[in-house]
Amino acid sequence: MIKLSKCFLEIVKTKTESELLLNSIIFFTNSNNYLSICKTNFTFDKILKIMSNKLLLPNRYKFIGWCILITATILGLILCFNDFEAFEYQTKVFAILNQGIMSDSKWFGFLKTNISNTVVGVLFIVGAMFVGFSKEKKEDEFIEKIRLSSLLWAVWVNYGLLILGFLLFYQIAFVNVMLYNMFTVLIIFIVRFNYVLYKSNKTVPDEK
């Protein structure tokens, strides 16, 4: 913009026709470059917005996600307080790698095992992703910014906790830390996003 202003002033100050022609060419060249930059930035923002909208699920999945997440959380807590043996469901499953504490590794085979922990873990992740990555009823740029900042905030906090886990927990205790760390990034993201959204919605009526 500063360059365009200078070029415009040069045109105004021009006395001869040759100088006028030269300054006019410079002015229009700079203006075209400026418009190209604006157009590129606008197009990039538009593409980024389209991509983010495509990656989000429709709003109806949020309610489904809450139902799955709450159920999985209750079942997960029951498993945690019962040494992960509260529900027993033995069945054959396919495993890429099966490695027991006192047995040899076996690649690509079937084994019979209790899958209750697996089912609850998968349900928790699916429910949390439905809740965290479904559109709001009124999706706008402000909500997109809250979602992005909450996700970044969750990643920072999650890996900060993991670093503390590396430094402060060892042996079986560290295995438990790694187990819970698989889920904490989604939990932190959901809690932070909904808290900031609730706080912002509460602030708007107060200002009115």
Strand-pair partners of 60? none
Q: What is the pLDDT of residue 12?
A: 45
Q: What is the pLDDT of residue 8?
A: 43
Q: What is the pLDDT of residue 130?
A: 95
Concatenate the DSSP letters of all residues of 81-94 into one string: TTTT-SS--EEEEE
What is the three-class DSSP state of 112? Answer: strand
Q: Kindly report the backbone phi and psi dihedral angles of residue 115, in degrees, each rounded to the nearest multiple of 5, phi listed first.
A: -105, 10
Q: What is the pLDDT of residue 156?
A: 95
Q: What is the pLDDT of residue 117?
A: 86
| Residue pLDDT tens, the chain, 208 long | 544 444 444 444 444 545 544 455 454 455 555 445 444 444 545 544 554 567 888 999 999 999 999 999 999 888 888 877 777 778 888 888 777 666 677 788 787 888 888 888 999 999 999 999 999 888 888 888 899 999 999 999 999 999 999 999 888 888 888 888 889 999 999 999 999 988 888 776 555 5
Q: What is the pLDDT of residue 90?
A: 81
What DSSP element (H or E) covers 97? strand 90-98
Q: What is the pLDDT of residue 189?
A: 95
Q: What is the pLDDT of residue 140?
A: 83
Sign of CA dihedral 8, 12, 18, 19: negative
- pTM comes to 0.69
Cβ–Cβ < 8 Å for 188, 137: no
| CA distances in angstroms from 171 to 32, 83, 160, listed in the order given | 64, 17, 20
